[in-house]
Amino acid sequence: MEKNADTTEPIYPWGHSRRYNDYPSYIKKGFGKRVQKISVNVGFSCPNRDGTKGTGGCIYCDNSTFRPGYCRPSKSVRDQIQEGVSFFEGNYPDLYYMVYFQSYTNTYAPVEELREMYLQALEHPKVTGLIVGTRPDCVNPEILDLLGQINEKVPVAVEFGLESTLNRTLNLINRCHTWEDSIQAIQQCHQRGLATGGHLILGLPGESREEMLEHATKVSALPLTTLKLHQLQVIKNTRLAAMYLENPGFVHLFSMDEYLHLVVEFLELLSPAIVVERFVSVSPTEKLIAPAWNKAKNFEIVAKLERELLKQNTWQGKKYSFTQNRAL
């Protein structure tokens, strides 16, 4: 770790004084300009919903908790993008955009249908890249080759719902894929030069604190570009909600302080090469059963986390084992 010549702040391996490898700095460095995500919804399902592998979807899932109002599969990709751009461009005329295929599984279709969908997103002159949210068991060489070809023209990131590194948990939450599927999918993306993101949920039923911290070690051993962390939330009208209301002891829901202390320990174990895009989920109040966290905003929670990192004089990767040979 180097010292900033102008201040007493250290410079960490990711090149600045923030105590974790943050996403805004990563985007600014990669694009050299302001870039905003625009979500689109193409109406695909998931194999654990439509009966291919299971039914009912993940026990915690309600995609409407993070989907903007303009995201309707009845609208074309082109129209959804234009509505998203129109929302921002009045105040931010210099913005460029990454189209985020967010809801459900956005590689769950024949490759020619996917090609048309992705290329339609690139028609807008201010779209400068794609983010494709999907499942580790819903990619194949043909689909990844398509994304690799697009990546030669504009940046493409593939974002996988990993959720846990424990197969018993993945089975319990009805993911209908394995941790081994996740490892293979991430490695196949890396082989094609694709930026690869992952989501993990901390607090899933039956996982100990030690097992949640072990997630950090396991994902650090993979060529993962970005990571989103989510605290488990109980959302109305989900299977998890029914389980929780019948037996509140089925899950342990973190207080904010308890969760942030866990995240600090998680960050210490996480490879400094992985960009941390998100620490928490903030669902609409009207949909949330627990934990409420006094309606705290995302930026307020992140600020509290940063104060805790400073207080403990710690940072991402402080306890990371470099014997895993991850290169920054």
Q: Residue 82 has what pLDDT?
A: 94
Residue 84 burial by Cβ neighbours in a 10 Å radius (0-12, 13-18, 19+) = buried
Strand ranges (E), 211-281: 226-231, 234-235, 275-278
- Say how far apart CA 191 and CA 180 lie, in whole Å: 17
- Say how far apart CA 272 and CA 280 lie, in whole Å: 19
CB 226 within 8 A of CB 198: yes
Name 155's Cβ contacts closer than 8 Å, sequence gap at least 6: 30, 31, 98, 128, 129, 130, 195
Count of residues making up the chain: 328
- pTM for the model stands at 0.92
Q: Which DSSP category does 84 fall into? A: H
Chain-centroid distance, C-alpha 88 = 22
Strand ranges (E), 117-254: 127-134, 156-163, 195-202, 226-231, 234-235
CATH top-level class for 2-315? alpha beta
- Say how far apart CA 89 and CA 38 lie, in whole Å: 12
Matching residue, tokens 């102008």: 6
The domains of the chain are located at 2-315
C-alpha distances (whole Å) from 224 to each of 106, 184, 185, 191, 218 are 19, 12, 11, 12, 11
- Say how far apart CA 79 and CA 300 lie, in whole Å: 33
Q: Residue 3 has what pLDDT?
A: 57
The residue among 177, 200, 201, 165 whose CA lies nearest residue 105 is: 177
- Furthest-apart CA pair in the chain: how many Å? 60
What are the pLDDT tens digits along the chain (328 aa)? 655 555 567 899 999 999 999 999 999 999 988 999 999 999 999 999 999 999 999 999 986 655 566 566 779 999 999 999 999 988 999 999 999 999 899 999 999 999 999 999 999 999 999 999 999 999 999 999 999 999 999 999 999 999 999 999 999 999 999 999 999 999 999 999 999 999 999 999 999 999 999 999 999 999 999 999 999 999 999 999 999 999 999 999 999 999 999 999 999 999 999 999 999 998 888 999 999 898 888 999 999 999 999 999 999 999 998 645 444 3
For strands 226-231 and 195-202, give the pairing.
parallel
